[in-house]
Structure 1
Amino acid sequence: MNQRTMTYHLFRVGKVWHYRFQVGGARTQRSTGERVRGRAEQLAGLAYRDALLKSGANCNCPTLRELVRLWLDAHRQTASASHLQGVEIFGRLHLYSLADTAISNLTTAKIEEARNLHLGTHAPNSVNHWSRIIRLLCKWAAHRGMIDAVPFTVKMLKVQRKPRATLPVSLSLDWLRTLDELGRPPVQIAVRLMLGMGLREAEAASARWEWLDAARQTYTPGQTKGREAEPVPVPAWLIDYLRPFRKPTGLIVARTDGRAFGRGFTRASIAIASRRIGIDRITPHRLRGTFATLLSENGAPVQVVQKVMRHKSVLTTVGYLESDLTHAAKAQQRIAEQCGFA
Structure 2
Amino acid sequence: MAGFKNGLQKVGDVYHYCFRINGQQYKGSTRAHDLQTARKVLEGKRQEALLGKPVTPKDAPTFDLLVKDWLAAHAKTASAGHRRGVEHITRLWLTPHLGSCPIDKVSQGMILEARTRMLEEGRSMATANHLLRVVKLLWNHAVDAGYIGQVPFKIKPLRLQKKPRPTVPGSRVPEFLAAVDAQCHSPQVAVMLKVMLGLGIRESEALGMRWEWFSPDQRTYTVGKAKGKEARVIPVPGWLWKAIYAMPKTLSEWVFPGENGKLHHPHFCKKTLQRVSQDLGLGHITQHRLRATFASLHAETGTPITEIQGMLGHKDIATTMIYVETSLDAKRRSQDALSLKLGLA
Question: Aligned equivalents of 2:154 and 2:260: distance in 1?
Answer: 50
Q: Residue 221 of structure 2 aligns to which amino acid in structure 1?
A: Y
- Displacement, 1:299? 2.6
- Displacement, 1:214? 3.0
- Displacement, 1:167? 0.6
In structure 2, the residue matched to 1:272 is 275
TM-score under structure 2 length normalisation:
0.75
Question: Aligned equivalents of 1:259 and 1:104: distance in 2?
Answer: 45
In structure 2, the residue matched to 1:114 is 114
Question: Aligned equivalents of 1:231 and 1:117: distance in 2?
Answer: 48
| Structure 1 residues 126 and 23, CA gap change in structure 2 (3 angstroms) | farther
Question: Aligned equivalents of 1:292 and 1:340: distance in 2?
Answer: 32
CA contact (8 A) 2:201 2:291 kept: yes
- Displacement, 1:331? 5.5
**1:94-124 superposed Cα distances (whole Å, 9 cap, x missing partner):** 3142222222223222211111112233111
In structure 2, the residue matched to 1:172 is 173
In structure 1, the residue matched to 2:76 is 77
| Structure 1 residues 151 and 218, CA gap change in structure 2 (3 angstroms) | farther
- Displacement, 1:260? 2.2
Q: Residue 128 of structure 1 aligns to which amino acid in structure 2?
A: N
Q: Residue 190 of structure 1 aligns to which amino acid in structure 2?
A: M
| Structure 1 residues 98 and 317, CA gap change in structure 2 (3 angstroms) | farther
| Structure 1 residues 228 and 340, CA gap change in structure 2 (3 angstroms) | closer
Matches within 5 A, 1:52-131: 58-95=57-94, 96-120=96-120, 121-131=122-132
Answering whether residue 261 of structure 2 is matched by residue 258 of structure 1, we say: yes
- Displacement, 1:295? 2.2
CA contact (8 A) 1:214 1:239 kept: no
Q: Show structure 2 runs of 5+ residues with no match.
A: 1-16, 18-23, 25-47
- Displacement, 1:336? 5.9
Answering whether residue 155 of structure 2 is matched by residue 154 of structure 1, we say: yes
SS of residue paired to 1:220: strand
CA contact (8 A) 2:278 2:284 kept: no
In structure 1, the residue matched to 2:218 is 216
| Structure 1 residues 315 and 147, CA gap change in structure 2 (3 angstroms) | farther
- Displacement, 1:279? 2.3
Q: Residue 160 of structure 1 aligns to which amino acid in structure 2?
A: Q
- Corresponding residue to 2:319 among 316, 330, 335: 316
- Displacement, 1:271? 2.0
CA contact (8 A) 1:142 1:149 kept: yes
Answering whether residue 303 of structure 2 is matched by residue 304 of structure 1, we say: no
- Displacement, 1:257? 3.4
Q: Residue 140 of structure 2 aligns to which amino acid in structure 1?
A: K
TM-score under structure 1 length normalisation:
0.75
CA contact (8 A) 1:189 1:253 kept: no
CA RMSD in angstroms, aligned pairs only: 3.2
- Displacement, 1:238? 1.9
SS of residue paired to 2:127: helix
- Displacement, 1:135? 0.5
Q: Residue 106 of structure 1 aligns to which amino acid in structure 2?
A: V
SS of residue paired to 2:314: coil
Question: Aligned equivalents of 2:287 and 2:113: distance in 1?
Answer: 35
In structure 2, the residue matched to 1:141 is 142
CA contact (8 A) 1:196 1:235 kept: yes
In structure 2, the residue matched to 1:192 is 194
**1:6-31 superposed Cα distances (whole Å, 9 cap, x missing partner):** xxx9xxxxxxxxxxxx999659xxxx
| Structure 1 residues 128 and 312, CA gap change in structure 2 (3 angstroms) | farther
Count of residue correspondences:
298
User: 4+ residue stretches of structure 1 with deviation over 4 A?
Assistant: 22-27, 246-249, 324-328, 334-342
Q: Residue 305 of structure 2 aligns to which amino acid in structure 1?
A: V
CA contact (8 A) 2:222 2:233 kept: yes
Question: Aligned equivalents of 2:334 and 2:298: distance in 1?
Answer: 22
Q: Residue 150 of structure 1 aligns to which amino acid in structure 2?
A: V
How much identity, in percent, do the aligned residues show?
Answer: 35
**1:169-202 superposed Cα distances (whole Å, 9 cap, x missing partner):** 1221221111111222111011011111112223
Task: Give the stretch that moved more between structures: 290-299 or 211-220.
Answer: 211-220
- Displacement, 1:145? 1.7
| Structure 1 residues 204 and 338, CA gap change in structure 2 (3 angstroms) | closer
**1:283-325 superposed Cα distances (whole Å, 9 cap, x missing partner):** 2221111011122222333343333222343333222221355
CA contact (8 A) 2:213 2:221 kept: yes
| Structure 1 residues 230 and 339, CA gap change in structure 2 (3 angstroms) | closer
Question: Aligned equivalents of 1:145 and 1:301: distance in 2?
Answer: 47
- Corresponding residue to 2:204 among 202, 222, 225: 202
